[in-house]
Structure 1
């Protein structure tokens, strides 16, 4: 039965929805976000070079002049996460004292990583460590260039991005499941805006979230099919063309649509688990076939350097706004922050029933360690191969990055069935890229649909299919307009939103901690009442002590 608060929320927010013709949407959020994306597409169509220059200049200003905002705020998110996990507030359970987790730990972790940054790790794990080993970064300095390169890559893909996701997702989950507000970005600002979140201010917040989700997903989908196309070209001589990439988008969108129709419990969960198992087999195969001893030593040394120099490197801010910091860590932080509404919403959706301590440690630590291991296997192998091939792999990374993974596999030393193993590994690599994109697309569709319905989790199936198709449509249109250049322009535009979102996330961190303190006091009272009732029930019983201890 719904509580009075839930009835109030439904009356204030969901009553504004358009519910005819099999739809259940907030028309202001849906139409406004769609119109803004359409205007961007028109601008790119008529003046792609101008759009590219405009957003590139905005991005450069943000990443060089306000780099300190990103560095300091991202460190604040880690501190906030650790405080929530290790203080008494970590005992608070998302959804209330009696709430139980919906998914097993393996399914939960699989969806976390698949929906978080699995596709990014596939794309960058070969190229980035190799790049840093050739062009030394100003952080994590070490006589060993390989350890320095991997520690720097750990920085870009470890605690900092996952702390951003943790703060966003925990805020969304807490206000949705503990405060009975909609699972939507507007709900996080209820302590500040109060009932205004149910009006135009809430609509503006959700419009920004929908735009960030859609363009981030469309950009990833467009760039990803180019990597898949590169792999097919490398293996089977299939031409790299816009037509092939559009066909790939249609196939991926079709699979994602089937998953969306099945829902989280079946489609998204099933695909995420399959993808993680396949990724584990792929990583172990490369570890065993590749330079195993070299990879293990590199992983250990790099992890030690990362831990030892973490604080010093995490707070490093270039005095002259160096292009290196703007190109790498600031670029990444801005991208993670821009994508946080989408990833955070999905993580929040699957995390009901976890304690805050369990949630933070799982979201912050487990994916980071798995990312470090993955980067060490593929990054370490790429550096090793580059050294024994006189720098040939680095040339591929500089000129044809999407092909780098397949070039690395081709150079693995496999004494038995060499050709067959290499082809099999390359095929698995292509399938993994496809599966990671499918899981990203279907989880993104569910998120966008939830936002546009005002936080509902049981919207019409046709609506979910619509948003899955829209993602593919946007990527297709951008490829037709200007190929990779149009997609890069869109990506640059998304990153430009990183600055305002960084400020919003900082405010959210403070609001979250303040609100959790109140919930902690309430949940402690509930536990005390339950304990008292048990005492009152068994105090006259001879076996009271045994039952109470149990």
Structure 2
């Protein structure tokens, strides 16, 4: 017990040393090194794009192509390793370890927790790609999940990109962050995960470098998603109201979304983020059921069942597939996705860690892996299945539209739906629902991302000043708007490519992280087991002594 207290005192001393470096004026409480260097990197990139966008785009594309072509084996094998590690944690004795200790309890209900997982993890991505990707794979046959029925292969391939592999990445990094923060009393920051190796050095410059990498990846990833997302919102408004599709309109939309996200961030997780996430899931459920009932319902159900069977049956073979000759498809799809999920993982992992205290390792891993994956499969089957069916009926016309303008894919699919009664009204209502849902998902991505960046730049503090939260929410919107003005979709593409290049170092970080986590969990398992045994012993002795006091007459 003495050693434990001593360890906690050392941790508190190191935290005080870390926080003593924070800038605490003008309503701020942030690490100046992490904040200033991250800001400079963002500024330099923006200036580079402004001065020579063509050259910047070309340089980053070449860098991305080199990383994907040379490191494809690392992305593929490591992502499978992450799945195995997660299941090993869940089904071993380590699954009994509780995040936050034996006495900790969950902060949020299961529904609120799942809602926040999905909203932060990939809600907006599912809105953007759920029509276009299955449709593309149904026209251009993928080299994995090679079933005779191309629709089954297309949907199974889409499941592969949005299922266990990305969620295993999220589960591993979020579990590591939550464990070291809540069980080891370290700051909720990426630097804390490396404490077992570097000890108190993580509170210095070395830790600052790790956090700077995380902040830049988070801000660039969020800005990219926000910029691409407003194009989809603009497409919806153009379809509904005839509002022009232009950069000026998209900048205005970014300002509106940023203001909404700022209000949510100021409210905190318990109010703003939680309420919006729950609202997202409810609207998404209504929207999905409407498409399911108005679309080719029997076809969707059959496609979901058969594609899920193909996915599970060929999972191992397709997961370890590495192209020997033409790697263009795998580089453009599977490896691209894996590098994107990995580069995106510090943001999502930090947010999931923040809301997951009180869960056992087993509950955490199975919930993060299985529930979002299954819900994503259902969503993709409804929207992707409807798109595939419609495209066959209209002789490829929907695919042609999607190829030319991906952001409008969802609304074009709605336009092609065969609705016998009040078709015009129903299509408008569905388009409104879709637009509202895209906006809502973007607000939750923006506010949760701003909270994460805020946590990192403050040194891992969970409750930072309100002005600081506002600052990072506005910074995210500013970067997205500036890049749209500089070069529109081409500038966002350059930024997205820059984000993907961080996937390689983060892959190595995740591998190290999983090893450190396994070692530390062994210690916590023994400690929590001793505590449980002691509690059980005390309870038995209490009952025994109570029985001894009984007097028989």
* TM-score category of the 2 structures, normalised to the smaller one: over 0.9
Deviation at 1:320, TM superposition (A): 2.1
Q: Whole-Å Cα distance in 1 between the matches of residues 412 and 27 of structure 2?
A: 49
1:216-260 CA distance string (max 9 Å, x none) = 000100110011111111222111111100110010001000000
1:369-413 CA distance string (max 9 Å, x none) = 000000000000000000000100000111111111001001111
Q: Which residues of 2 match residues 138-537 of structure 1 at below 5 A?
A: 138-320=143-325, 322-537=327-542
TM-score by length of 2: 0.97
Q: Whole-Å Cα distance in 2 between the matches of residues 190 and 322 of structure 1?
A: 38
Secondary structure in structure 2 of the residue aligned to 1:66: helix
1:264-301 CA distance string (max 9 Å, x none) = 00000000000100000100110011000000000000
Q: Is it true that 1:39 corresponds to 2:44 in the alignment?
A: yes
Deviation at 1:6, TM superposition (A): 4.8
In the alignment, which residue of structure 2 is the partner of 1:116? Answer: 121
Runs of 4+ with >6 A deviation = none
Q: Whole-Å Cα distance in 1 between the matches of residues 70 and 23 of structure 2?
A: 43
Secondary structure in structure 1 of the residue aligned to 2:103: coil
Deviation at 1:543, TM superposition (A): 9.5
Instruction: Specify whether residues 345 and 543 from structure 1 end up closer, same or farther in structure 2 by C-alpha distance, changes over 3 A only.
Output: farther
Whether the 8 Å contact between 1:5 and 1:180 is mirrored in structure 2 is no
Q: Whole-Å Cα distance in 2 between the matches of residues 101 and 119 of structure 1?
A: 26
Secondary structure in structure 1 of the residue aligned to 2:324: coil
Q: Whole-Å Cα distance in 1 between the matches of residues 422 and 376 of structure 2?
A: 29
Q: Is it true that 1:85 corresponds to 2:95 in the alignment?
A: no
TM-score by length of 1: 0.98
Secondary structure in structure 1 of the residue aligned to 2:28: coil
Structure 1, gaps ≥5 residues long: 545-550
In the alignment, which residue of structure 2 is the partner of 1:547? Answer: none
Q: Is it true that 1:538 corresponds to 2:538 in the alignment?
A: no
Q: Which residues of 2 match residues 90-109 of structure 1 at below 5 A?
A: 90-109=95-114
1:25-76 CA distance string (max 9 Å, x none) = 1000000000001000000000101100000001111111210000000000
Q: Whole-Å Cα distance in 2 between the matches of residues 22 and 149 of structure 1?
A: 51
Whether the 8 Å contact between 2:277 and 2:444 is mirrored in structure 1 is yes
Secondary structure in structure 2 of the residue aligned to 1:140: coil
Deviation at 1:21, TM superposition (A): 2.3
Structure 2, gaps ≥5 residues long: none
Q: Whole-Å Cα distance in 2 between the matches of residues 94 and 153 of structure 1?
A: 32
Deviation at 1:197, TM superposition (A): 0.1
Q: Whole-Å Cα distance in 1 between the matches of residues 548 and 15 of structure 2?
A: 48
Q: How many residues align?
A: 545
Secondary structure in structure 2 of the residue aligned to 1:136: coil
Q: Whole-Å Cα distance in 2 between the matches of residues 215 and 358 of structure 1?
A: 32
